[in-house]
Structure 1
């Protein structure tokens, strides 16, 4: 019986610790004042059906005719307006001579089996302004 109580106490302690870690602490601003952090309820079931960046980055992008027009090099969220962009690698061969271009993520049609850029073609993408990563 004592062993069961000890086990229950340990489980409750871990649970309490998990709660303490999950809840965000209010940052201290100045001598005893704090700022509250707003939270938003998220429908996790809907989010779980979304597209994982780990499955998108590195995937080939095709056009309406199923011709490969590039690959997804990265996904970036604009700091100004929080709009997501897909960085595509176009042209080149095995990463040599390729060009990076940014397109709005919303321009892509993503299904379980492919990523499509309707109306996309290599020449039009190569003529887009080159994208260069900002130096950190």
Structure 2
């Protein structure tokens, strides 16, 4: 499979399964209708993908101006934390508004989603590589 096709397939499958699982999980946690949580999960996915593009562009702009080159553990940790904090700031109000809950409750739902997506990403990558094989860079 070509690298571009692999990336597209990965993204489509990752987001589709993530939206379904997150939507069902939010329904269980919040007691809201699956339809409502499914829509907010899809909107959250769109926000996350858009934020990823914006954040990585800004991060790389900042990174090019640093005297120390490379991506140390500290820089990678700062990148991950910055991304997740920014995403939380964006998603908590959306969750609060859409699910008609307090901002605190929405923040707790969002933290649950963060933990879920760390585990989901790890497991999804394992499964994806088992089914479609490793990329050339990993062989």
TM-score (norm: length of structure 2): 0.26
Greater relative contact order, per chain length (Cα 8 Å cut-off, separation 6+) = 2
TM-score (norm: length of structure 1): 0.26
Bigger fraction of residues in helix: 2
